[in-house]
Amino acid sequence: MWVYEKKLQYPVRVSKCDPLMAKFLLEQYGGADGELAAALRYLNQRYSIPDKVIGLLTDIGTEEFAHLEMIATMVYKLTKDATPDQMRAAGLGDHYAAHDNALFYQNASGVPWTAAYIQAKGDPIADLYEDIAAEEKARATYQWLIDLTDDVDLQDSLKFLREREIVHSLRFREAVEILKEKRDEKIYY
């Protein structure tokens, strides 16, 4: 089971009301390489992966939910109290028509999240390579999001999330190395 902890993993500060940036950030909320996709990908793959790497998939999958909450916090703060006119000016008029200021699992273009974004091939190497690719794609997305804002507080939180993709990528690469070793060889420390 899971328990909730009433705190963010990392502080999220935004310095202005900016619904347009909130729209861009949705890419990491309900997009193909976003945090929801990441969490569900790893927590689903863990049922069919060798025992040695189940812990890693469980822990990274759990951390992704903390990142999802950080992205939600950014979107929430950037759109909090934004008027319908401000939402419309940010290209979120269609979002407002369906959702008011509610969050919705969709990407920056308004496409709803789909399970088709994530794979579970049942082959441990194929699945871990997908995970490594997903982390690198999420890292790239964070780079382009950092490029799209001049809010240094928001950039700070996005830089934290970008670095986490790097650490996760390394751990998945190590998981591949662990699965490459023969039964009685020990390559890891």
Partner 1 sequence: MHKMVDDAYYKQLHELQAVDFVLVELNLYLDTHPMDANAIQQYNQYAELRMRIAHQFESQYGPLMNFGHSFSSVPWAWNDTPWPWQV
Partner 2 sequence: MNDQVRYYEPYVSPLDPCPPRRVKSYITPPQLFIPFQPPNLPQFHPYEALMHGTLWPALYSPYGPQKVRQEEEGDD
CB 153 within 8 Å of CB 14:
yes
Residue 97 binds which of partner 1, partner 2, none (CB < 5-8 A, kind-dependent):
none
162 binds partner 2 (CB under 8 A): yes
CB 131 within 8 Å of CB 42:
yes
Shortest reach from residue 70's CB to partner 2, in Å: 12
Active site residue 168: yes
Token readout for 50 is 């060798």
The CA distance from 16 to 165, in Å, is 26
Shortest reach from residue 116's CB to partner 1, in Å: 28
Number of C-alpha atoms within 13 angstroms, CB side, residue 11? 4
Question: Per CB under 8 A, which region of 26-34, 37-45, 55-63, 112-120 contacts partner 1?
Answer: 55-63
Nearest residue (CB) to partner 2, 43 versus 176: 176
Query: 67 a known binding residue?
Result: yes
Shortest reach from residue 174's CB to partner 2, in Å: 5
Residue 156 phi/psi, 5-degree rounding, is -60, -50
Please identify every residue annotated as catalytic: 35, 64, 67, 135, 165, 168
